[in-house]
Amino acid sequence: MMGAFAFPDAPTVVRAYLQAALDVRGVSVPVRTRVPNPRPDRLIRVERLGGTRLDRITDRPRLSFEVWAPSQDEAADLAELARALVHAIPGWRGAVAYDVVDVGGPTNSPDPASGSERATFAVEVSLRGRPLAP
């Protein structure tokens, strides 16, 4: 009988990594899985949009990133930085995440609710599961 595997919560793993990577670079932007009320002028939101389980030990969630900033240029620049950093996640914290693939490059996408400047992008991240006790 094959053992069962559990997978980490992808948005939580990627949010923690991205927040730490931005902090190390002195970029003061909150990274969240939910939009706080009130929403700060600069914010990155990470959300799982689905994805697939590739095999018994690999989950490949699709993650969406929404990047708010005061101007379109700032939102685009911050999205490009976040995207570059997300692509550097393989091997972070014990190689839980080991591959990143773009599924939607950075796009200017003003927030329809507020009209605020926002950029978006999406990736798929391969995550290793951990075996559950029998």
**Residues composing the chain:** 134
- Per-residue pLDDT, averaged over 82-95, amounts to 82
Angle in degrees, 0-180, between the axes of helices 72-86 and 10-24, rounded to the nearest 10: 110
| Domain residue limits, the chain | 5-131
Structurally, at CATH architecture level, domain 5-131 sits in: 2-Layer Sandwich (3.30)
d(CA 35, CA 38): 8
Q: Write down the pTM of the prediction.
A: 0.93
SS3 of the chain: helix, strand, coil, percent, to 5: 25, 40, 35
- Per-residue pLDDT, averaged over 117-131, amounts to 95
Is the pLDDT at 93 greater than 90, yes or no?
no
Could you give the percent of the chain with pLDDT greater than 70?
Answer: 96
| pLDDT digits 0-9 by tens, 42-84 | 999 999 999 999 899 999 999 999 999 999 999 999 999 999 9
d(CA 7, CA 75): 31
